[in-house]
Chains A and B, each alone.
Chain A
Amino acid sequence: MVSAVLLNRGHSGLHLSFAIPSFVLAAVGVGWWIFESITAQRLVGGGSASGLACGIAAGLVIVFEMLLWPRKIFRRLRLIPAKYWMAAHIWFGIASLPLAIAHCGLHLGGWLPASLMFLFVLTILSGLYGLAMQNFLPKWMLWNLPAETIYSQIDYVAKISVDDARQALLASCGRRMTGEAKSAADPLPELIPASSEPIVIGALRGSGKTSGRSLITTKFRDSSADAEPLWTAFDELQPYLLEGKRAETPVTSRAGEAQYFQTLRGACGPDSEQIVEMLESFCNQRRQFDIQQACHRWLHAWLPVHIGVSVAVTVLLAMHAYTALKYW
């Protein structure tokens, strides 16, 4: 279903098969209403033949649009492939707006029909917004956010990256010497100040146009000489890696990050370059996660509004149909 929203050449057949009938339906309805209005020398209302037909058509479209909800709830039943549902949802929904406008005869009427029309337009606009976002943002994210992960797992993945950084530092610099340990004569037996064993960590890798997150097995050089600045850097970076732009750190801004790592490189030797690159990579990843979160809100925040308003439209539609026929 997700791909069905894409209005591209690959889906042209799918969309045209719904777009054309929708356009014809809307054109016929509106055309009939225009003809009847010209004949009557005024804008005919919803009770006229054309107005009523347009209203019924728009109402049926609204009911069809709402059927997408149970379709998704009962997705296991696989009632008609979802891509067809989505394409029909888009094009019939768009066609319903001119039909509804023709039905009302460019006259809002009382509070109830005016509220219905207002919410209906809001539904259409939110849907069009979502359609636009779905056609634009995912592609942009694909190209610009190679570190993209599952949205709900961002914090979890960030935590894992912090663990990976800690492991890399332990492997490269050994354990951070605390005040108590410094005073002890012997190091803790589990410490391996500089390991020659490779470790597996997550990383961002790219090959040509393809890039993304993956696991790498790497062996860090001995950077124990720069243990202090590196562990200090880790302490300073950790809040950012965990919380992203919510944390006030020296690397929260992109410019600050560049300056920070430049300073760190200056404070460390060449053997520590690998660690510094890793830390910088993790910061970059976190930045992408922040952007991904923002994009996710742009992509999906309209949906609750769209659903909520459409539910209200459905309720008011039922009431409007009843009262309009009662006081025709």
Chain B
Amino acid sequence: MLTDVRATGKSRSQRINIDYYRQKTWLTRSRGLLALFAAALAAGYCVYVFGSGGPSHLSTGPLAMAHASFENDCQQCHLDFTPISADALRFTSSRNLDRLEETCQKCHRVDHHFRSSMKPEFAVIDQHCSGCHTDHQGRDYDMSNVASKKCTQCHGDLPATCKDASSIEVRTNITAFTAEAHGDFPSLKKGDPGRVKFDHGQHMMPGQVDNGVKGGFTIAMLEPNLRNSYRKSAEGTPQGDDALVTLSCADCHQFAGSPSPPSVGDHEIGRHIAPIAFDQHCAACHSLNAVGKVEDTLPLPHAAPWKEVETLIASKLVGGQQVGSIRMPSDVVRKTPLVGEGYSGALPNLSSISKEGGEDKEMLEASVRANLAAVAQRCLQCHVPDDITDEGIKKLRASDSPTLIPTRWFKRGIYDHAAHRKIDCAFCHADAYPKISSGETASVATSEIGSTAETLEKRDDSDVVMIGGIETCIGCHRDPSSSVPNSLTDEATKELLGGQGNWASDACIECHRYHWQRPVTPMANEVEPQVAISKDGLP
């Protein structure tokens, strides 16, 4: 059909549907559908998370292995709508901090770190456990591995941290473990606080005698039950009894667990050197046998009250006389004693001994006094007079008394001997070794038999602290990016290191502990540790 000749407005308008805009296209339909679908999916996910999906979807990372058992129980640590993160804005009220600390203390019973001395803004840092021990870093994350910058944020400028800067007893600006930034160990600069006179140099000499002096200690001269402890072997052949006693470091210093654990977690065998005990380390040579020592004679007890010693000496004298093992001056000389008579025709009896003014009594008392004096002389070889009085002995025997030889020398640091067991003792304790005449230190000579005693010099070193300072540590404990210092590259040093690696971490936590005391206020039903706590109160 033909249309009109001219196009009219109506005809033009009919070229398209006039209500086209009302028609829904695929775009409109898909837009609405996708929006609904997305909303439903997101809402479903939310329901899942709040339901069975659990906190794992909300967690910023897996908890460390130690906390993994309550990974899905956020309420163990988190308080609803209360910040716990170290980053969090300072909404950290005391209520939340107290709660967080109490939560951690349920399992980790540790004390604060001089919090009462800190300014409030730093006390918050101390109280905020998660500030240093951040969790949600993965199963294998070591939460106890605290970065050094956590320490230096306060120790880098201690006066700014403390309420009273004048009360600070340590260096006030420690920023790194270097000689300049850390300084030497102040504990070692205060001299030897020990009250026992001991000369390392002399004891390290063969036979423990001075240069050129004959008559040194031999194996035969030691207490019989202790001889084998000091009998060395050369090429598989043990020393004979006539060999000179040659001491090594290990003869007196043995690895042990912590002798006095004031801090938590320091109970590992080998971390410390066992305290020196007279009966174990000294008695072989320094036994107290003032009265007629023969083979198998039991020595007098060490650190016994003088009354006890006197009684023992008297009983040895009388008893020995009775059995014929001791001869008194009044005894008639016989070649062999007779039972019931001894060496003389008549043995002193109790009545004659106790008779006042009697000859037997006077002789016995004189002998006792002489022996006591001899014992005292031997005590004074190592002890100061005040320590061998009855009062002194009583005080030392108290369970809470400090030891005469310090059990720990680093007042604020920990040294793990086990971790350094490959290194020769002389690397850090060079002063313990006698110097040879050329001025060099006999390094491993004392562990070798047959060293040339005549070339060793005697020194009086009983007051010397024989522990190397920070210079012996920073060679290995340094920044990982730094190169090996020249001091570790010479052959002699390498031999001393014994194959130990020449790099170790310089982190503060290698040697220092932050929580080194148990809380003052025990929790209900808490059982105190059975191990005696030293009153040194050392970290």
Contacts and interface: CB of A to CB of B under 8 A. Distances in A.
Nearest to A40: B87
Contacts of A327: 55, 58, 74, 78, 80, 84
Contacts of B55: 327
A11 interface: no
Given A41-B149, A328-B85, A328-B88, A149 B3 contact: no
Given A115-B45, A307-B34, A327-B58, A200 B3 contact: yes
Q: Which of A107, A160, A198, A319 has the most CB of B within 10 A?
A: A319
A241 B466 CA distance: 105
Interface of B: 1-7, 11-12, 15-17, 20, 23, 25, 27, 30-31, 33-35, 37-39, 41-43, 45-46, 49, 55-61, 74, 78, 80-85, 87-89, 149
A167 B12 contact: no
B88 A195 contact: no
A307 B83 CA distance: 34
B27 A157 contact: no
B17 A110 contact: no
Contacts of B27: 300-301, 303-304
Contact of A315 (B43, B57, B84): B43
A171 interface: yes
| Among all A-B residue pairs, the 8 with the closest Cβ atoms | A308-B34, A315-B42, A308-B38, A215-B7, A312-B38, A48-B87, A109-B60, A47-B88
Contacts of A113: 60
Contact of A171 (B2, B45, B84): B2
Interface string A188-201: 00000001011110
B61 A110 contact: yes
A136 interface: no
A197 B2 contact: yes
Contact of B7 (A171, A197, A200): A200
Contacts of B80: 326-327
A110 B31 contact: no
Interface string A313-328: 0011001000101111
Given A45-B87, A316-B42, A110 B59 contact: yes
B2 A110 contact: no
A87 interface: no
Contacts of B89: 47-49, 52
Contact of A304 (B7, B15, B30, B81): B30
A45 B89 CA distance: 11
B528 to A, nearest CB: 36
Interface in A182-220: 195, 197-200, 202, 215-217
A72 B248 CA distance: 92
Contacts of B11: 200, 215
Contacts of B41: 312
A323 B53 CA distance: 14
Q: Which of A47, A52, A107, A301 has the most CB of B within 10 A?
A: A47
A16 interface: no
Contact of B39 (A45, A215, A311): A311
A76 to B, nearest CB: 15
A315 B45 CA distance: 10
A142 to B, nearest CB: 19
Nearest to B46: A319
A305 interface: yes
A308 B88 CA distance: 33
Q: Which of A45, A305, A328 has the most CB of B within 10 A?
A: A328
Given A152-B23, A307-B35, A308-B38, A44 B15 contact: no
Given A152-B25, A312-B38, A328-B84, 17 more contacts: A109-B61, A115-B45, A152-B23, A156-B20, A199-B5, A303-B27, A304-B34, A307-B34, A308-B35, A311-B42, A315-B43, A319-B42, A323-B49, A326-B78, A326-B80, A327-B74, A328-B82
Q: Which of B25, B27, B81 has the most CB of A within 10 A?
A: B27
Contact of B6 (A48, A52, A200, A326): A200
B25 A151 contact: yes
A288 to B, nearest CB: 16
A153 interface: yes
